[in-house]
Amino acid sequence: MSAGEPPRRARRWGWIALRAAASAALLAYVWPRDYRAIGRVIESADLGWLLAALALHAVGVWLSAWRWKLLLERGGRPISVARLSASYLVGFFFNTWLPSGFGGDAVRAYDTRREADGAARSVGVIVIERGTGILALVALGALVSVGAGWYRSMPGLTALLWITTALGAALLAALGAYGPALAGRLESAVPGLWRWRRAAGAARALLSTSATLSGDRALVARALALGVLLQLNVVMHYAWVGRALGVPVATSYYFLVVPVLVAVLTLPLSINGIGAREVVFVRFLGAVGVAREQALAVSVLAFALTLVFSVLGGLVYVARGFASGGSERA
């Protein structure tokens, strides 16, 4: 163990402890005094709708694998949807159970580095995959906000969705147009020390991959189309949990709530979004008249279904012998 390892480990655990404290504080802030009220709401849930919401996770993995395959095979090697589905399940497991919430992306990048002809390109593919997915979700929310008339009662949120959509599309276009030139200059712009040049080389390869992918308009269009289907699937997951609990909210409203939820969960505010997730549901469902215990029940049950489904990824991880090099086998 190196001399710097104990301080790094202490900082890492200190950061985890801080986020755990944030989760506890956020839960204390939104949790009702009558905590049994949430249990009573959950007890009345319709099992059929809950099972349907759980099944949407499987649909999401399949759509994600197809989109990942589309991007990964651009200039790389052929790879099967089944192979990527298994890798995605393992990544989903790590994203759900690790405190960072992003460990699954590292696992997926490592698992497909051979097919991507290098780790940097594998990471670049995942960056574009993530980016186009978020852009599709926000754009979908912006369109539904107008089509369903939410722009009248939620003008601020609707404007934010449209602005974010425009900025995201502009960034994607700029990356495709100017990314290659920027990637070529990056490595020469850093000091000549080998450690800096090595890091710059990895960053250049990552940027170059992202630029190449985003510069292919047909590819981006197909990735966005699959992203729309995937994000529609995500939104319906929460809407069907709400339906199971009898929450009196139109399905279209979840198209506004879920982009905010995803944005909040992306920030390292708490442990795997615990607490932050509940605040979002209480705030936004409460804004349209949903009782606090119902809003919390939606949050708790949706997360519980995620935990249940993620166990499948853990089983795949064990079956493939991932930790001992099983990722090299399809």
In order, the DSSP letters of 265-279 are HHSSSSSTTTTHHHH
C-alpha 220/C-alpha 177 separation (Å) is 13
Domain-embedded: residue 98: yes
Where in the sequence is the domain holding 249, given as residue range(s)?
35-322
Point out the least confidently predicted range of 5-19, 162-176, 257-271, 298-312: 5-19
Number of domains into which the chain is organized: 1
Q: For residue 292, name the pLDDT band (cuts at 50, 70, 90).
A: very high
276 lies in a domain?
yes
pLDDT over 60 (residue 272): yes
Residue 187 lies in a domain: yes
Say whether pLDDT at 276 is over 90.
yes
Query: What does the DSSP assignment read for 64-115?
Result: HHHHHHHHHTTTS----HHHHHHHHHHHHHHHHHSTTS-HHHHHHHHHTTTT
Closest CA to 270 of 16, 64, 49, 63: 16
- Both tokens of residue 311? 């166990």
User: What integer is the mean pLDDT of 293-301?
Assistant: 95
Whether residue 24 lies inside any domain: the answer is no
pLDDT tens-digit series, residues 172-231: 888 877 777 776 666 566 555 445 555 666 667 677 777 777 778 888 888 889 999 999
pLDDT value of position 110: 85
Q: What is the largest CA-CA distance in the chain?
A: 65
High-pLDDT (> 90) share of the chain, %: 51
Q: Please give the Cα distance from 111 to 90 (Å, whole number).
A: 10
Residue 28 belongs to some domain of the structure: no
The answer as to whether 66 is a domain residue is yes
pLDDT at 330: 36
Residue ranges in the chain assigned as alpha helix (H) = 5-30, 36-43, 47-72, 81-97, 103-111, 119-147, 150-153, 155-186, 194-215, 217-244, 251-266, 276-286, 292-320
Q: Does 132 map to a domain?
A: yes
What Rg do the C-alpha atoms of the chain give, in angstroms?
A: 21
pLDDT at 325 over 90: no
pTM, whole model, 2 decimals? 0.86
Asked if 43 and 246 count as a contact pair (C-beta separation under 8 A), the reply is no
* 23 assigned to some structural domain: no
Residue 147's pLDDT band, with cuts at 50, 70 and 90, is very high
